[in-house]
Structure 1
Amino acid sequence: MDAAVVIAGAGPTGLLLAAELAQAGVPVVVLERDPEPRLAAMGMAVNAGVVELLAERDLMDRIGADGLPWPRAHFAQLWLDPGRVPGRQAHTYLLPQAKLEEHLLAHATKLGAEIRRGVTVRGVRQDAGGVTVDTSAGEVGAAYLVGCDGAHSVVRSAAGITFEGSESAFDGIAGDVEVPHGHPLYQQLGANDFSRGLFSVAPSGMGLLRVATGEFGRRPADRAAPPDAAELRAAVRRLTGQDIDVGTPRWLGRWDCETRQADRYRAGRVFLAGEAAHVHFPLGGQALSTNLEDAVNLGWKLAAELAGWAPSGLLDSYHDERHPAGARTCLTTAAQLALLHPAEQVAPLRQVMTELIEFDAVNEYLVRTAGGLNVRHPDGGDHPLVGRRVPGVPLPPGRGVALRFDRSVPLDVSGWAGRVDLVTAEPSADVPAAALLARPDGRIAWATDSADPEGLAAALSTWFGAPARA
């Protein structure tokens, strides 16, 4: 075998998954068809959920230096106030996806992941012993294959996984344009909605602006043809009624209005993650947060299986947890679409929603939804923290942690040495519990408010396998 795990696709999902596996000592190879890192990446923001996830991995200080904190959030471009949400809150960052990929590439390669560029995946076959990937550079063998190769995933098709959903007529153009200081586009900064669709402008680098237009009910003349400056300028004119110079494009691409989800995230030894598993209208960074959560959920489970200590059903729990999360993201982005178009029909509903957002509970719910902060899995457990991410606590990479805030709580994790660390910490207002057990992906598997740690052994066995014999 060439590696224990082969990943198709070196976008953010594939790179973070590769880093998670390499951190756990798993030999991993990433196959990427593009010969060079891409500049034409549509993403422009990392939401609060992604910021928390990257901070856990000690990456946010470096990545955040290339971004701009954005202490706002929106739901269907109805503006929310994260500052009204109680407790410590991570903020969204304006950050071009190409820059995020640059950092994740450096992170993955530093940990030992191998990136093979200019390699196209053409087919897949598997048996009980492993997976063979047919590529433009020959066959590659592995114990497991993960398709992180986007909406048109070759891996998904080869595995026989369906990708049902819907698509609406939509004409979207986005890209980075070079503009001098004082250019008229600077007067258009922000996210704006019009009767025909959306128009946004945001800084994306020195002398660069990210411009995006989206027109509902319209299809491009040739979807396969790359847009040019004239087409972008015409779209801006149709939306705004103004003829605005759009600068000199460094790159332009198309985006669409499509919602689809794979019927299953696993077929034998083949898994799907990111946009190979789910696509939806891009709003508020929810796509990226859902994609990266797939990566961290799957990474430690594959590592556990390969290390030989995974409990029965652990790999299947990836689909069981992430498929509902992906479905929820598809639902909430579809709800936002319903609040955007047709503009005349939804105007009264938007007015009522604006009034509802004045209520703190509504504002908090939508802030958490838009920020990817309300995902809860494993779903279950009596304690309200179970299934949620450990807030504000850095975790040891690739390992579970039994975290004790009350020193009187007896926590025995000796049978899981090497899989779970025992840490005693000062009480934190952000973590209302006496003790908890966190999985390697940062999700809380067990928590207690008392000095009697009932249920800890069961949680340890459920997520970290049988205890080692003395």
Structure 2
Amino acid sequence: MHDVVIAGGGPVGLFLAGEVALSGCSVLVLEREQEATSPWKTLPLGMRGLNAASAETFYRRGLLEAAAKASGTAVEKLGAAPEASEAPVPRALSHFAGMTLDAADIESATLRYRLPSPAMEGFMTSLAAIEDVLSERAATLGVEIVRGADVTAVTQDDHAVAVTAAGRQYQGRWLVGCDGGRSTVRTLAGFDFVGTEPLFTGYVAQVTFADPDRLPLGFNPTAHGMYLRTPFEGHLGMMDFDGATFDRSQPLTREHLQTVLRRITGTDVTLTDVRLASSFTDRAMQATSYRRGRVLLAGDAAHIHSPLGGQGLNLGIGDAVNLGWKLAAAVHGTAADGLLDTYTSERHPVGAAVLDWSRAQVATMKPGPNTPALRRLLHDLMSTPDGTTHVYRTTSGLFNRYDLADEQPLVGRTAPDFRFEDGTRLGDLLHQGQGVVLDFSAHRGLQDVAGKWKGRIRYAAGSARNDLGFTALLVRPDGVVAWASEHTPRREAFAQATARWFGVPEN
């Protein structure tokens, strides 16, 4: 029997597998596809964007340089980011409904609790690049991956989960469905999946144009929808507001794609060849809970929405890093009471907000006589410093706050990348997936308390180059601040916070 079985070997499943295996758990990944390689994973069709929060997550596990290299992206060498008191800002922003903004308009003074870091912003990548990095990590940590294993049955009791895949039964103490928007695990385990129905049929394709110069690059809204051309030759995206009436079970022919493209663009542009094509919708749905007994969901299995703004992969990575250490604690029997339930209570509101962000973009794009005026108004509002800053805070993922029942404004947020005088960064201390105590006051009482959770918490003391006014912090394995003090640390308060998140001490 494995400690954890994960259905789905995409980026979310692989990242989660590494997180759980990092603590010594045995992990099995069941992936339905026979081969790891696919043209849908490589550029241009597999193009994805890692936002700043995801880049930070990779950095905190020592994976940023490998991910950047695999993606062909130049990222500052670890430790090379300059120190500054002001919050760093990105060089580029995600779009909203195809409307791009200038990152220079972000008001850095309003971005509290940010410090320069090697992971200051996101970057473009591909599914293939991310999966290569995460597959190598999983193999190094002893994760077993079985391909061609399509899950067909799931049963559970109070002690284990039985999973049938490709005619064989596997046993696990826990099962996590990371098997995509049409999740079999979600259906078989009886999760409720609710939300809103779609308004458009979307298409992504790699084609050959007879007359490519007739279609400009970038996002192009029209009276009938929107189309996107990227610098990659033949890469085409379309959103056709047909009420999602197209039968997506039928093959995508050149004739159909050309008809849709001509209707959206209002031209007689010609497609001479279609190499690959797929369809999608803006259906926005979410599981009402991410856990049923010993079965959990993460990534697209837990929530689906349109790809507008590129939030899907990032939302799933956030699920995985939140769930991994909690699930490992449950396996080892060290989890505090209710710890695993905080996965849903923390991540469900984040997922709901992303679904609403997607819905708002669709509403802004829906063709109609008033749409151009609405788009102009929204663009004007978002182009103000306040508006641009709001878009950055929403899409970067760095400013989510979990409700941890603490009024201190940093608690529940991702921790700044504090740097000690010797050059050690918080990101370095999180590589092994343990909690971290940052003690800038060298308070002996904190060290004594932290020592009771040896193996689960790392203690680091010393002066920080910029402590932002804090004397001590407790940071969870996912990089979220669980407790913070701006005065002389109180041992009792620190001990209570530690017990809340790391369970009963071993001595």
TM-score (norm 2): 0.85
Partner Cα separation in structure 2 for residue 429 and residue 335 of structure 1: 38
Shift of 1:376: 1.1
Is the contact between residue 176 and residue 250 of structure 1 (CA under 8 Å) also seen in structure 2?
yes
In structure 2, what is the equivalent of residue 372 of structure 1?
A: 397
1:27 aligns with: 26
**How far off is 1:20 after superposition?**
0.7
What residue number does 1:39 align with?
39
Matched letter for residue 98 of structure 1: A
Q: Say which of 67, 74, 81 aligns to 2:102.
A: 81
| Equivalent residues in 2 for 1:40-439, closer than 5 Å | 40-41=40-41, 44-65=48-69, 66-67=71-72, 71-83=92-104, 84-86=106-108, 88=116, 90-177=120-207, 184=212, 188-203=216-231, 208=233, 210-219=235-244, 221-244=246-269, 249-392=274-417, 393-394=426-427, 395-407=430-442, 411-412=446-447, 413-424=450-461, 426-429=463-466, 433-439=470-476
The verdict on how the C-alpha distance between 1:129 and 1:385 changes in structure 2, with shifts beyond 3 A counting, is same
In the alignment, residue 219 of structure 2 is paired with which amino acid?
A
* Structure 2: runs of 5+ lacking an equivalent: 75-90, 109-113, 418-425
Give the number of aligned pairs: 463
Q: Determine the C-alpha separation between the residues in 2 that align with 1:105 and 1:239.
A: 40
Cα deviation for residue 362 of structure 1 reads 2.4
Distance in 1 of aligned mates of 2:387 and 2:469: 23
Query: RMSD of the TM alignment (CA)?
Result: 2.5
1:138-180: CA deviations, max 9, x gaps?
Answer: 1000000001111221111111111112222422111345799
Q: Secondary structure at the match of 2:391?
A: helix
Using the alignment, how far apart are the partners of 2:236 and 2:134 within structure 1?
Answer: 24
Report which stretch shifted further, 367-376 or 5-14: 367-376
Q: CA deviation at 1:245?
A: 5.3
Displacement of 1:250 after TM fit? 4.3
Q: Distance in 2 between matches of 1:457 and 1:465?
A: 11
* 1:202–1:146 Cα change, 3 Å: same
Higher mean alpha-carbon deviation, 313-322 vs 332-341, is at 332-341
Distance 1:58 1:264, change over 3 A: same
Give the Å deviation of 1:15.
0.9
Name the structure 2 match of 1:17: 16
Distance 1:91 1:177, change over 3 A: farther
The structure-2 alpha-carbon separation of the partners of 1:138 and 1:447, relative to structure 1 and needing over 3 Å to count, comes to: same
Work out the percentage of aligned pairs sharing the same amino acid: 37
1:440 is aligned to 477
The CA deviation string for residues 34-93 of structure 1, in whole angstroms up to 9 with x for no partner, is: 101233255522222222222222222222232458723222223233342415483332
Superposition deviation, residue 425 in structure 1: 5.3
Any conservation in 1 of the 2:18–2:138 contact (CA below 8 Å)?
Answer: yes
Unaligned runs of 5+ in 1: none
Kindly provide the amino acid, as one letter, of the partner of residue 410 in structure 2: L
Say if 1:185 and 1:245, in contact at 8 Å, map to a contact too.
no
TM-superposed deviation, 1:290: 1.1
Letter in 2 for 1:303: A
2:506 match: 468
**Aligned partners of 2:483 and 2:30: how far apart in 1?**
37
CA–CA separation in structure 1 for the residues paired with 2:209 and 2:312: 28
- Counterpart of 2:496 in structure 1: which amino acid? A
Moved more, 223-232 or 365-374: 223-232
Of 494, 502, 505, the residue aligned with 1:456 is 494
> Counterpart of 2:218 in structure 1: which amino acid?
G
The answer as to whether partners of 2:47 and 2:124 remain within 8 angstroms in 1 is no
CA distance in 1, matches of 2:307, 2:329: 33
- DSSP 3-state at the match of 2:329: helix
Check conservation: 2:202, 2:238, Cα contact below 8 A. yes
2: CA distance between counterparts of 1:175 and 1:150? Answer: 20
Q: Does structure 2 conserve the Cα–Cα contact (< 8 Å) formed by 1:192 and 1:199? A: yes
Task: Please list the CA deviations of residues 98-148 of structure 1 after superposition, one character each: whole Å capped at 9, or x if unmatched.
Answer: 332232222222221111000110011111120001121310000000011
User: Normalising by the residue count of structure 1, what TM-score does the alignment of the two structures yield?
Assistant: 0.91
Question: Secondary structure in 2 aligned to 1:50?
Answer: helix
Q: C-alpha separation between the residues in 2 aligned to 1:335 and 1:409?
A: 51
What amino acid is aligned across from residue 7 of structure 2 in structure 1?
A
Which stretch shows the higher mean deviation, 415-424 or 224-233? Answer: 224-233
Amino acid at match of 1:292: I
The alpha carbon displacement at 1:323 in A equals 1.3
Letter in 1 for 2:39: L
Higher strand share: 1
Inter-CA distance 312–59: structure 2 relative to 1 (3 Å threshold): same
Cα-to-partner distance string for 1:345-384 (whole Å, 9 max, x where unaligned): 2333322222222432222121111222232114431221
Q: Note if contact 2:18-2:141 (Cα within 8 Å) is conserved in structure 1.
A: yes
SS state at 2:375 partner: helix
1:452 and 1:464 map into 2 onto residues whose CA distance is 19
1:229 Cα shift? 3.9
- Give the SS at the match of 1:44: strand
Conserved 8 A contact 2:102-2:383:
no
Q: Which residue number corresponds to residue 82 of structure 2?
A: none
